[in-house]
A and B are shown apart, each in its own frame.
Chain A
């Protein structure tokens, strides 16, 4: 396995050498964001609580298992990403206003999404591993620098700004051309899919479906 340790914020140079399937560990600062944040800023037009560029250029689709202590400090256990495909529709606009170059999350998006939203903005996608590596990632978080909109969005959806060290592992899921590791693997697996069903009779009652091919993805 190829492994790289990378400093945040990401630069053109560090982005360039990243191949699909490379294991990556990060150092610097990342901030969390998901539908709550995207809706509030992009759909409702609420001014972000802090200039987004000042938070770095790595946006993490996650919400930590955190709680707020009585003295106002935070208690952070594990962090795990949440499935990103649900957020694709906000991303072009998000990249434009935030200057993000990397999205960290679970499950990636489609090559279509990468080519539409990521490639024009020079961004890539890093996937968490497992996906349940919450304790490992939690250990990589050295400090909670800030949290914004805790009251407005709740613990799960608030913007947590995290200082991280040896934070990972992540896998490079999309490259600068918009190729997807998941789709590459899926294509190999698909070669065998029809034969799995060989000789198995169709059930009597069909189901309405949004996808009819077993080579399709549901995301």
Chain B
């Protein structure tokens, strides 16, 4: 049984880690870019960012004051048992968010969209967002905290099958230029692309591709992996760097996720996870085990499955009834 007390402390801790410590994969990606960048202004920006991450860790302060929209992703093992059930879990995650806002502190960014009422704790209607996925043959839960900046760098477009790879490339370039100018997207970014599904799926898998996969990770489908590489190179060849200065540091990595879509369409979304690519993960086991890491491992083979059955996930129906 996974205890709510343990969940609350861990969920608070990952919000703190995400806000303060830049994940290693992203940091090494940027350090590699500093070496390659020839433009003085662009290099100056990258170096300032590296210094900023060091200061954040030394001083234990948030790396960026715009702590974005704090949210959680939860991966639940099929055999995991959570004390009080999932309503209790959601309540705990709301408490952790409110406490994190006060104790780290995070900026209380969350307001009602019309009245602009701010509870000063990043909690409100559908806030924090909590998204779920499940995992077979596991008795733990993973909780992932992501603080993503919110205003620029994402866009959506309905493309059609006939638009093909050209259409994908054009829209990718459009978004890079649109939000790269003046560095509105705070690039170099991990760029996530969502392809297919229904419109909302295209948006959410694109965001997850940006926020929940690490620099260097490739999609297991070789064709998609090749397109990821191609888009990354394309982005870095625009001639633009951080803050929209002349340079070639634009995309630290590109991740594409797909979902089966309407036969007549090819919806596409693009998302930029910025210079504060903040994520942290905790795994809670049934016996009170707690393990922290920075790779969400969100897109498992199970999550990307494309068939009806999954070996060994669900007991056959008759067996379940008999038990």
Contacts and interface: CB of A to CB of B under 8 A. Distances in A.
> Size band of the A side of the interface?
35 or more
B240 interface: yes
Contacts of A204: 160, 162-163
A138 B45 contact: no
Contacts of A79: 65
Interface in B37-69: 40-41, 44-45, 48-49, 51-53, 55-56, 59, 61-67
Contacts of A136: 48, 51-52, 55
Interface stretch (B75-83, B124-132, B166-174, B304-312): B166-174
B25 interface: no
Nearest to A180: B182
Contacts of B158: 205
Interface in A166-219: 169, 171, 182, 185-186, 188-189, 192-193, 196-197, 200-205, 207, 214, 217-219
A107 B182 contact: yes
Nearest to B101: A67
Interface string B135-165: 0000000000000010110000111101110
Contacts, number: 194
A171 B183 CA distance: 13
Interface in A137-177: 137-139, 154-156, 169, 171
A44 to B, nearest CB: 15
Interface stretch (A6-14, A112-120, A123-131): A123-131
A100 interface: no
B181 A217 contact: yes
B164 A75 contact: no
Contacts of A131: 64, 183, 186, 243, 275
A128 to B, nearest CB: 9
Interface of B: 40-41, 44-45, 48-49, 51-53, 55-56, 59, 61-67, 101-102, 104-109, 118, 120, 149, 151-152, 157-160, 162-164, 166-167, 169-171, 173-174, 177-179, 181-184, 186, 234, 237-240, 242-246, 274-276
20 contacts: A1-B40, A63-B65, A66-B105, A77-B105, A78-B61, A78-B64, A78-B65, A82-B66, A130-B183, A130-B275, A131-B183, A133-B49, A135-B63, A136-B48, A137-B65, A138-B55, A138-B62, A154-B108, A203-B170, A205-B158
